[in-house]
Amino acid sequence: MACFLISTMPGFSHIQQIGVIARTLVARGHTVWWHTSATFQSAVEACGAHFTPASPAAIPRLYADPGAARTAQETLAGRRPRLTSLQADLQELFVAPLRAQHDDYQALLPTIRPDALIADLMTLGPALFAETTGIPWAMVGMSTFSVASPDVGPFTLGLPPARTALTRLAYGLMHRFFAQVLMRPVNRSTNAVRATLALPPLPHGRMFFDLQLSPYLYLQGTTPSFEYPRRHLPPQVHFVGPLIGGPAVPFTPPVWWPELATARTVVHVAQGTVATAPEALLLPTLHALADEPMLVVAVTGGAPVAHLGDQLPANARVAPFIPYAALLPHTTVMVTNGGYGGVQLALAHGIPLVVAGKSEDKAEVCARIGWSGVGVNLDTHRPTSAQIRSAVRQVLADDHYRRRAQAIQQEFAHYDAGPTAAALLERLAVTGRPVLRAAEVPIPTTEYR
Instruction: Give tens-digit pLDDT for 201-249.
Output: 988 777 777 888 999 999 999 999 999 999 999 999 999 999 998 777 7
Q: How far apart are the first and last CA of the chain?
A: 47
- Cβ 12 vs Cβ 273: under 8 Å: yes
Taking residue 213's Cβ as centre, other Cβ atoms within 10 Å add up to 18
Q: Which 3-state string (H, E, C) describes 340-374?
A: HHHHHHHHHCCCCEEECCCCCCHHHHHHHHHHHCC
The number of angstroms, rounded, from the C-alpha of 200 to the middle of its chain's C-alpha atoms is 30
For every residue of 242-282, DSSP letters joined together read -----SPPP----TTTTHHHH-S-EEEEE--SSS--TTTTH
pLDDT tens string for the chain (449 positions)?
999 999 999 988 889 999 999 999 999 999 999 999 999 999 999 999 999 999 999 998 877 665 544 444 443 344 444 556 778 888 888 999 999 999 999 999 988 999 999 999 889 999 999 999 999 999 999 999 988 899 999 888 888 999 999 999 999 999 888 888 888 899 999 999 999 999 999 887 777 778 889 999 999 999 999 999 999 999 999 999 999 987 777 888 999 999 999 999 999 998 866 666 777 788 999 999 999 999 999 998 767 776 777 778 999 999 888 889 899 999 999 999 988 989 999 999 999 999 998 877 889 999 999 999 999 999 888 899 999 999 999 999 999 999 999 999 999 999 999 999 999 999 999 999 999 998 655 554 444 44
Element (H, E) at 126: helix 125-133
Question: By the 8 A CB rule, do 60 and 9 touch?
Answer: yes
Question: Distances from the Cα of 138 to the Cαs of 40, 101, 104, 299, 435, in angstroms?
Answer: 22, 16, 18, 33, 10
Overall residue count recorded for the chain in this entry:
449
Instruction: Tell how far CA 367 is from the center of its chain.
Output: 14
Contacts of 75 (CB under 8 A, 6+ apart): none
Is residue 20 within 8 Å of 341, Cβ to Cβ?
Answer: no
Q: What is the pLDDT of residue 78?
A: 42
Q: Which amino acid is at 1?
A: M
Angle CA 8–11–16, to nearest 5: 80
* 138-177 tens-digit pLDDT: 999 999 998 889 999 988 888 899 999 999 999 999 988 8
Q: Is 12 helix (H, G, I), strand (E, B) or coil?
A: helix
Domains by residue range for the chain, with CATH: 3-245+415-431 (3.40.50.2000), 259-411 (3.40.50.2000)
Kindly tell me the sign of the dihedral angle through the C-alpha atoms of 41, 215, 344, 270: positive
CA of residue 231 relative to chain centroid, distance: 24
From the list 233, 6, 262, the residue with the least C-alpha distance to 115 is 6
What residues contact residue 398 under an 8 Å CB cut-off, 6+ apart? none
Enclosing H/E stretch for 141: strand 137-141
Nearest one of 36, 408, 80, 416 to 241, comparing CA atoms: 416
The order of strands in the sheet holding 375-377 is: 316-319, 295-299, 266-270, 333-336, 353-355, 375-377
CB atoms near residue 130 (< 10 Å): 22
Residues 287, 385 contacting (CB under 8 angstroms): yes
Distance CA(231)–CA(356), nearest Å, equals 29
Nearest one of 128, 11, 6 to 60, comparing CA atoms: 11
**Which residue from 175, 161, 154, 147 is spatially nearest to 236, judged by alpha carbons?**
147
